[in-house]
Amino acid sequence: MAAGRHLPGLLMLLLVYLVMSAVFSTAYRSSEERYSVCNTRCCKVEPNCSAALHVACRCHFAKRVVLRDGDFPPSVETIYFYGVRNLTITANALLNLPSLTRVELRQIDWMKVLSNGLALNSNSSLAFLAIDSVRRMELKADAFSGHWDTEAKLRIGYVSSLALSQNTFSFQSSPHIPSLVIEHATLRDIEPMAFNASLEFLTLKRVEIKMCRRNGFGGSIQALSMDRVDLNELREGCINGSGSLRRLSVSNSRLGVIRHRGICGSIPTVTIRNCSVSRLQPNGLQLRTAKLDICSSTFTSIMTRGLNVLANKVYLRKMVVDTLQGHALKALQATEKEDDSPSIRIFNLTVMHTYNGSLAFDPETNVRVVHLSVDVWKPPVCPLERWVRQLTDASEKAPLGPTQKQMQAQLHRHWLCKEPSSTTPAAAGGKNGEAGARSTLRKRYMLRPD
């Protein structure tokens, strides 16, 4: 009875409770369902899902994560992912996040960015994107696309295996051009036009690349800088300055074979410093430049017309060449100048193996040579003047020009081309002296023996 009398009141309470909990749970669920990152157990969304500013996910390599358009609340400002086993970024994952300023994706075992995965809108505020410590990373065509409008900094580092596709970086950007740094990474090849984006700086640091084909660095890069890079083969058109490239700087690096027109076109400033180059093939550097500066670098061989360069100024400083083929330097030419100060300045050039014409220069070009050191031929060519004529490919009759006279003075060795009256057997003296000179040369520059 009493229970019967109280029933309507209890029912009412139950009903109110049910309605209230339904309302709360739909509100709760709707924001969770809408933004899947709020549902992801390893992610922390602060202050809360509907007003999210910071998303930080520490997934302890336990998860496969797929990022899609609409996964993040539009208010989000920073996104961090750490320790993801398998991360896939699909089209437009970050496109509609106008407040996003910073993204860091770190410690990822396997990562793939699909086409337009990292596309941005012109109203994006993204200023910094870092991807690092990735075991295998694959970046598809147009992975980085859309409009990167801020002075965005893009950094990719510590990648054991990085695969780029043609057009991987294809974003437009104006007026500010972002910079891209790739460091500590191993790439198999550089696909043609992988960097087909307006980049002010492309910097490669401690990167290993097997091979670079035509337009490997094509697109609209303004300054390309490589430091501690190991680039095994530069095929024709790998670095082509015919587009926007204004500066090329390679330092502390190893370049393997530079094939015909491996570095070509018009690049106002080219600097190669503390590098080792295995083989510079004919027209390996076919360049027009304001300034070419090669400093403290070694070349195993420079073939005929290896340096085919038209420049306002050329500096070859502290260069060590094992084999300098005939006419290797003859295609170095200076553009017209008003004064006649030397356009080509060669300081401290050391060559282990010279041939006829190895030191021949373009007759129109004013060359200054200081501290030249070359191997002595077996048997030595005497008198010295004759040797200089052969090295510079000059006719027997014409008087020596100023550059040849500089060379003659620098190639003079007291024991070489002695008068036959000299009592010490000339042959023995020459032989020992020569061997001695060679070994000191080798010791001084620490080159391997034959």
Ligand X SMILES: *[C@@H]1O[C@H](CO)[C@@H](O)[C@H](O)[C@H]1NC(C)=O
Binding site for ligand X (CB under 6 A): 47-48, 50-51, 64, 86, 88, 98, 110, 121-123, 166-167, 170, 193, 196, 214, 236-237, 240, 242, 252, 261, 264-265, 274, 318, 347-348, 356, 371, 390
Q: Of 387 and 403, which CB lies nearer to ligand X in the complex structure?
A: 387
Q: Of 121 and 271, which CB lies nearer to ligand X in the complex structure?
A: 121
Shortest CB 374 distance to ligand X, Å: 13
Q: Of 15 and 24, which CB lies nearer to ligand X in the complex structure?
A: 24
* Radius of gyration for the alpha carbons in the chain, expressed in angstroms and rounded: 33
Shortest CB 255 distance to ligand X, Å: 11
Which of 268, 273, 217, 228 lies closest to 246 in space, CA to CA?
268
Q: Of 242 and 422, which CB lies nearer to ligand X in the complex structure?
A: 242
Shortest CB 264 distance to ligand X, Å: 5
Shortest CB 305 distance to ligand X, Å: 15
Q: Name the closest residue to ligand X (Cβ).
A: 237
Shortest CB 87 distance to ligand X, Å: 8
Shortest CB 155 distance to ligand X, Å: 22
Q: Of 110 and 128, which CB lies nearer to ligand X in the complex structure?
A: 110
Q: Of 69 and 429, which CB lies nearer to ligand X in the complex structure?
A: 69
